[in-house]
Amino acid sequence: MESVSSPKFLSSLLLFLILSFLLALASASLASQGKALLQWKASLQSQGSLESWNLSTSPCNWTGITCNITHQGRRVIREIKLSQMGLAGTLNALNFSPLSSLVSLNLTFNNFYGSIPTTIAALSKLTSLDLCTNSFTGIIPLQIGSLTKINSLNLSDNQISGSIPPSLSNMTRLNFLYLFGNNLSGSVPEELGRLENLLELVISNNQLAGSIPPTLGNLTRLQELDCENNEISGSIPPELGNLVNLDILGLDNNNLTGFIPHSLGNLTKLNALYLWGNHLSGSIPPEIGNLVELTGLSLSQNSLMGSIPTSFGNLTKLNIMLLWGNHLSGTIPREIGNLVNLTNLDMSENHLNGSIPKSIGNLTKLKILYLFENQIFGSIPRELGNLTKLNSLWLNRNQISGPIPPSFGCLINLTDLILFNNRLSGSLPREFNNIINLKRLDLTNNNFSGHLPHDICKGGVLAHLTLNNNYFEGPIPKSLKNCTSLRRVRLEHNQLSGDISENLGVYPHLLYIDLSFNRLSGKLRPNWGGCHNLSFFGISNNKVTGNIPPEFGKLTQLQVLDLSSNNLLGEIPKDLSKLTHLYNLNLSSNQLVGEVHPEFGELYNLGTLDLSANQLIGRVPEQLGNCLKLYLLKLGKNHLNGSIPFQIGNLINLDDFLDLSHNSFTGEIPSQFGKLDKLQNLNLSHNELIGHVPHSLSDMIGLSSIDLSYNELEGPLPHSSIFQNAPVDWFIHNKGLCGAVKGLPSCGSFTTSKDDSTKHHKLLLLITIPGLGTLFLLFLFVVFALLILRRKKHARLVATIEFGGFSIWNFDGIDAYKGIIEATEDFDDKYCIGTGAYSSVYKALLPSGEFVAVKKFHPLEFENSPSMQTFWSEVQALTQIRHRNIVKLYGFCSSAQNKFLVYEYMERGSLANILQSEGALEFDWSKRIGVIKHIAYALSYMHHDCTPPLVHRDMTSNNVLLDSEYKACISDFGIARLLKPDSSNWSMLAGTRGYLAPELAYTMRVTEKCDVYSFGVIALEIVMGKHPGELIFALSSPIGKNTFLKDILDSRLSPPTTQVANELVTVVMTAFKCLDNSPHSRPTMQIVSQQLSIFKAQPNSQPLDMIKLCHLIDAKV
């Protein structure tokens, strides 16, 4: 036996002790790592699938943990992969120090939150860090840059904010950097250009700004650069052309400007180039045609000009080419026909012209072809019938003519065929019946004729059928009767005939149907009550007979019901009162009988009620006064009787028409009608009304016409401009009306009796008049004497003026003068609220407690100075007019010391100041539209209700004042001019630059159309929040006209709601008409005010985001 002290034994013992020590050391290291992980687990709110993490098992056996043995023989945790474990919590309790051996940490798709700890820098051996798709917040810690061995960093899809730290440039081994889907801001660090090993850089969907660093051109190994959906500005650096290995370049949806660099043509390995949604300009470089590996190309929604390069014909691998929403011109290159792999081709919303090239018929893989909103002409090539895989074809808004080719019958996969607003003609080909998958067919506004295809709904999937404004004839196809997929049908304005009761069925999904202006006959069937989602039903101007089915009362979503101009019989069903969403009810021009049901007063959303031209009898129910949203009420040409309910006067939103004519109404005109101050047209003619015309009708300041003829009215007409300037035809055939209307007797010419007492009265007058005359002359002498004495002591003050039929505020002149001098402390500057060329405006608090605005004219030596002329022009103008939207003149003073005007005080000041201040944020879209309407009403009154017409000549946003409720009033009539029929109305150039009509520069002739132009400028100024001078200039170019409406709206306000958006479209459309360079082409202000009053009922066919200014400029108002 060997001795225990032998060398061999000792060496074995030593080896055993060393191994034991190393194993103990390894166990201690693994234990400390496990302890750190268990402490972190305990801090989590949701621990998901971490049940195996416990002290009874080795950490190497835990879920998501991978261990490794070091070269020293130690077992350590190498990877932690806890992806999609349902974990929730923070990393604050995780001690990274024991985990220094970790090379991979993956916590993706959990619900971790809080910030990324700076102590993560302890993971010095980490090569992969993936924390994507959690809820981490805070900033990217600078210390993360010390992880120099890392080759993949993924922090995407979190809520991380702050900037990208330049320290990331220390990660020189980095191949993949993913930071997309966060809230990162600031600029892209130029230091990232040092990461020469980077293969993929994805920083999209953040809030990054600044420009793209040219240093990124150093990343020559880069295969993907994705910066989309940020706020990056500046131009695209030409240095990006150095990235010759690039496979994907995504810079879309930013604020990039300038040209597309020609150097991008060097990227011959590029598979996808996305530059859409920027502000790029210039032409498309022909070098893009060198990118023969491209499968996706999107340059849409920029301002690119010029033609489409013919070199695009080289891009034969393209699947998608999107060029829409630019200013491209010229013809579509026939070389596009080489792109045989295309599935999506969109060149819409440009200025392309010429015909559709036949070579497009080679693109047999095409599924989407959009060429709409260009200037394409010629016919549709029959070769398009080769595109048998086509799903969607949109050629609308062009100038395409001729018929639809029979080859379209081969497009059996077509679901959308949109051809509206062209010049297409002829019959639809018989082969059209083969398109059985059609879901949407829109041929509106063409010249099509012939019969509709009898199997148009053969496939049973047709949802949208819009064929209105054509010349189609014959019956409605029978295949529509069982076409339950229908959602929207528009066949109005054709020449269709036949019995609707036979060809139409029940449509559970139908929302809208309009069959108006055809030659349809038959009866309305009760089964229409089964269309429960219907919101619009129109069949006016046809030959429909029979009764209105009571089942229409089941259409609880109905908003518009128009059955007018048919041959309908019977009574109006009481069930219609259940349609509480109804906005427009028009049953006029039928043969309906019976009474107007009181229950109609429950239609609280009703805006239009037209029951005229029927055979209705009985009284008008007073409950109609509850329909407070009514803006049009027509009950004329019936057999209604009794008195007119005074409750009609509660309908204060009536602004278009109130027609009760051609009935048998008795009694007096209700004085409550005076509350209808928005109403423009009132017709009470051909009734049996008696008594006087109420003086309260003078308060109906919106009236442009009133017809009281053929009644039994008597007495004087009210003293307001609408009556004084009216034609006599409005008042003829009454019992005894009198007034200042040419053709009516003056009220002083009537005698009270013709009996013997007349002689006595005459004798009394002969005795009395000379005596009264003597007394009157004596009175005048005393008054003049007193005036001469007072002139020496006091300023000559005119405080009460009888002019134009009304009094300016009646108060004692001397007391008022003293009150104004005291209130302004003799016009101290601290009370001054505005200064102009000829005057300053002061705010004064009178002893009565009322604020007034005092416009004091600057003193000048000569009485015939411009200041004096301005003063007397304003007095003359404002003493002859009265309108709720024209500032009130309370009085004026003209003395050697002072000349001033006393006005109504408008709390919010001028429109210009509001638009330029923080007050613009409170000045929301509804208020702005209201102000535009107020200005229009005032100008319409001045131009059309004043005799002679009054032209303002200096309409600007500074001369529009707003009160606390945002009621607008026109002010500053210092250069206003009365247009006299015997005058040439030539004038020195006056007004404010930027608002002057262009013709004044060369004609110097003042007309109402000068104010119309200024109104157009102000309307756009209100919509844009700034003066529209640049826009008006830009509209002379194609680029300006193709600006989107949404891009000119005041960006300080939230986008308008749908209803307000509809009104805004009409406002802008009307403003453009007012800005026509030709004064003869501009509408009158009367037409403008009428248009702005009725636009609430006109929905837009396009969403606001899709509307361009050219659509509104060319539209008919």
Residues comprising the binding site for ATP? 856
Q: Spot the catalytic one: 226, 954, 972, 1011.
A: 954
Distances (CA, A) of 76 to 36, 70, 121, 535, 559: 13, 7, 18, 70, 73
Nearest of 1115, 912, 1103 to residue 1025 by alpha carbon: 912
Contact (CB, 8 A) for 976 and 874: yes
Which uninterrupted H or E stretch holds 1067?
helix 1058-1074
* Radius of gyration of the CA atoms of the chain, in A: 41
Q: DSSP string of 723-758?
A: HHT--GGGT-SSSEEESSSTTSPPGGG--S--STHH
Q: Looking at the DSSP assignment, which residues form a beta bridge with residue 248? A: 224, 272
SS (H, E, C) 855-891: EEECCCCCCCCHHHHHHHHHHHHHCCCCCCCECCEEE
CA distance 394 to 784: 84
* Beta-sheet strands, E only, within 193-244: 200-202, 224-226, 233-234
Q: 948: cis peptide before it, omega within 30°?
A: yes
The token duo for 22 is 């190393």
**Spatial CB neighbours of 1, under 8 Å, sequence gap ≥ 6:** none
**Spatial CB neighbours of 701, under 8 Å, sequence gap ≥ 6:** 677, 720, 882, 883, 884, 941
The SS3 call for residue 918 is: helix
Nearest of 1066, 1053, 996 to residue 1027 by alpha carbon: 996
CA distance 734 to 799: 40
The SS3 call for residue 716 is: strand
Contact (CB, 8 A) for 29 and 74: yes
Contact (CB, 8 A) for 674 and 694: yes
Work out whether the CA dihedral 612, 614, 618, 622 comes out positive or negative.
Answer: negative
* Residue 699 known to be catalytic: no
CA distance 828 to 818: 15
Work out whether the CA dihedral 546, 548, 554, 560 comes out positive or negative.
Answer: positive
CA trace torsion 646, 652, 653, 655 (10° rounding): 80
CA distance 920 to 906: 17
Q: Looking at the DSSP assignment, which residues form a beta bridge with residue 402? A: 424
Direct distance between the N- and C-terminal alpha carbons of the chain, in angstroms, rounded to an integer: 120
CA distance 409 to 598: 55
Q: Which residue has the tokens 């990227």?
A: 267
The SS3 call for residue 368 is: strand
Q: Looking at the DSSP assignment, which residues form a beta bridge with residue 422? A: none
Distances (CA, A) of 538 to 380, 502, 1060: 33, 18, 24
Question: What sections of 921-1028 are H helices per DSSP?
Answer: 925-944, 1008-1024
Q: DSSP string of 1022-1065?
A: HHHSS--HHHHHHTTSHHHHTSBGGGTS-TTSPPPPHHHHHHHH
Q: DSSP string of 259-316?
A: PPPGGGGG-TT-SEEE--SSEE-SBPPGGGGG-TT-SEEE--SS--EEPPPGGGGG-T
Helix axes 1058-1074, 1008-1024, angle to 10 degrees: 140
Any idea which residues carry the catalytic annotation? 954
